[in-house]
Structure 1
Amino acid sequence: MRYKTAPIAVAAITVTLLLVTGCGSAPTRNHSDARAQLDVDSGQIDLPLEAYAMSEQEITLVSEANALLVARCMDASGREFPRAFQDWESASVFPDRRYGLWVMAEAEANGYEVPPPADAERVSAMEEQFDDDWWESVDRCFADTELLPLMGVNTDPLVTSPVDEGMRESFESLLTAQTFTDARNDWRACVEAEGVSWDPDATVLVPQVPAPGEEHIRVATIDVSCKQNLNTVQRLADFETRQQLAFIDQREAELREYRAAVDEVLAKARSVIAEGGASS
């Protein structure tokens, strides 16, 4: 779900978890009335399992700490690492497009494009001025520095966390459910009535997207307007919420253990940030 500036957002270390399993199945509660929380202002779809993983803000915190650790390594060889001292406070939360574009403010401003973080271009321009020796030093520091793991949703391609597992299961269940078929058919009829073609090859609800420009924005606003009028995202997220709550009932001990590991990493990240980066 999420665009982070590489390579800071790639953790070099993974956490090995002790999986706790019981002899029997945990009781499943009735979650038929459960609803997902949608935050239109931030463009976030809050699903229950995400509470056990790092949030976008927490991922940014750990990324900042990792950048400072690399900066210390670079400082030891007399080199700077500008990325560590970028404006982390202004780092925007990547919009959640689990089912496609759904926030009108995004559609009207950028369509399907995602603007880079506010400080990204300035930092990239600074780094492009450095020579090959600097880049070799960066590579060495990343290899030699013990970085903190990112434990968000699907942030480590080498490790599948219990959160990743549950998020994948609920999404796969949604795609085969009548709820999804009905929501997609309703949305498709709506956009086609406005002269917009849907993309049959897309997994989620995405139209045929034109090149950036006025038509691009027009299609995006029609797409989002249909989703809003049909309550599409709420319907889909509610289904996944109920699926995930049942998963949590079965795996709660394991998920709590994972969250405890997340909190340990966050405590270390805060300590690194409090200590600061390279010496002046």
Structure 2
Amino acid sequence: MSPSRARTTTALALLLLATTACTAAQHGPTPASHPPLVSRQAQQLRLPLDAYASTVAETHLVEDAQDILMRRCMNDLDMEWKTLPRVDAQDTEPPNLRRYGADETEAIRYGYHPRPDPPSVVRRNRAWDEREALPAEVQRAAYGPSGKGGCLKTAQHQLVGDTAPPDYHAFNQLTGTALETSRRAPEVRDALRTWHACMGKAGFDYPDPFAAAGSEHWETAEPTATERATARKDVACQKSAKLTTVWAAAETHTQHRLIDQNTDRLHKAKVRKDRWLAAARRVLNREGG
């Protein structure tokens, strides 16, 4: 069985999971004809603990480098290995999308439904699906009986030697703690009450943006007109309450404190992550991008 593919996990939950990874060469600026996938605020939102996780683009970078080394290994066994198609830079989600509620740009178009995957993401996911359908002998050569051996293990050793894969347990634990803790800050509670009152004037009685987005009423194949209208009011109320600005400031303060309390643990995790990224970039640079 092939290893788990990198998926973007940005659920509206209090405990967010981190993605690991790395990017191939940067693409040029987004063409003017390419509409923004998410709001500028979501694109720019950064938190202190982000330095200890990896972006989806960075995960792709490591996968792409491993893929090149796997192809060499598989070719040595007289087996073909198609490398994964690259994901366009503008098609990767920012790390803190939906952290404090629905995104304005997405809500206007899709309500609370996830936006459709962009074409480059579809191509990469399709390639992963095709790998899962490879003949058994090819999968054994690629991944070994355990899914962690074969040419994958060879490629990882060539990439980073005996350096263990990045461990994101510390980040996952602390980022969830930071979100929950900052939610209880007086200024965040005030902003949430302002949001609730704003929604109430429109006839909605959700306790917070997470409850609004997670309502069972939106479990439909496509977003309904009611869902879109609710989501639009939701993000309008978030803006009037300055919810994201207030919450991000409170969480930034909380995260700095947690980083100070876990310096050694986080430093070790970041060193491992940075070694994998540096090794991946070296492989991709030798391949010309």
Interval containing the TM-score (normalised by the shorter chain): 0.5 to 0.7
**Which whole-Å CA distance do the structure 1 matches of 2:41 and 2:183 have between them?**
26
Q: How far off its partner does 1:53 sit?
A: 2.8
1:24 is matched with which residue?
Answer: none
Q: Does 1:264 align with 2:272?
A: no
2:45 aligned counterpart, secondary structure: strand
Taking structure 1 as reference, are residues 49 and 205 closer, same or farther at Cα in structure 2, changes over 3 Å only?
A: farther
Q: Which residue pairs with 2:254 in the alignment?
A: 243
Q: Which residue of 1 aligns with 2:16?
A: none
| Matching residue's letter, 1:111 | G
Q: Counterpart in 1 of 2:194?
A: 186
- Structure 1 SS opposite 2:79: coil
Aligned partners of 2:196 and 2:207 also within 8 Å: no
Q: What is the CA distance between 1:131 and its match in structure 2? A: 8.9
TM-score normalised by structure 1 residue count: 0.67
1:92 equivalent in alignment to 2:100: no
Amino acid at match of 1:119: S
Deviation at 1:223, TM superposition (A): 0.8
Asked if residue 231 in structure 1 is aligned to residue 275 in structure 2, the reply is no
Moved more, 114-123 or 231-240: 114-123
Q: Which residue of 2 aligns with 1:7?
A: 4
| Contact persistence 2:62–2:280 (CA under 8 A) | yes
Q: Which residue of 2 aligns with 1:109?
A: 109
Q: Give the paired residue count.
A: 234
- Shift of residue 124, structure 1, vs aligned partner: 4.7
Deviation at 1:107, TM superposition (A): 1.6
* Structure-2 separation of matches of 1:60 and 1:131: 18
Q: 1:88 Cα deviation (Å)?
A: 4.7
Structure 1: which 5+ residue stretches go unaligned? 1-5, 11-38
Counterpart Cα distance in 1 of 2:211 and 2:270? 29
Cα distance in 1, alignment partners of residues 57 and 169 from structure 2:
21
RMSD: 3.5
Q: Percent identity?
A: 24
Structure 1: distance between partners of 2:257 and 2:104 = 32
More helix by share: 2
CA gap 1:247/1:132 in 2 versus in 1, 3 angstroms: closer
The question of whether the paired residues in 2 share the 8 Å contact of 1:187 and 1:227 is answered with yes
Give the corresponding residue for 1:217: 228
Q: Distance in 2 between matches of 1:127 and 1:266?
A: 21
Q: What is the CA–CA distance in structure 2 between the aligned matches of 1:179 and 1:245, rounded to whole Å?
A: 18
Aligned counterparts of 1:139 and 1:215: Cα–Cα separation in 2:
50
Q: Cα–Cα, structure 1 residues 219 and 225, in superposed 2: closer, same or farther, change >3 Å?
A: same
Q: CA 1:124–1:252 in 2, change beyond 3 Å: closer, same or farther?
A: closer
Matching residue of 2:169: 160
Alpha-carbon distance, 1:118 to partner: 2.4
C-alpha change, 1:132 and 1:9, in structure 2 (3 Å) is closer
SS of the residue corresponding to residue 256 of structure 1 reads: helix
Unaligned runs of 5+ in 2: 8-38
Q: Which has the higher contact order (CA 8 A, sep 6+)?
A: 1
Query: Does the aligned pair in 2 maintain the 1:64–1:88 contact within 8 Å?
Result: no
Task: Quote the offset at 1:141 in angstroms.
Answer: 1.9
Decide whether aligned partners of structure 1 residues 120 and 48 sit closer, same or farther in structure 2, where only a CA change above 3 A counts: closer
Aligned to 1:141: 142
CA drift at 1:245: 1.3
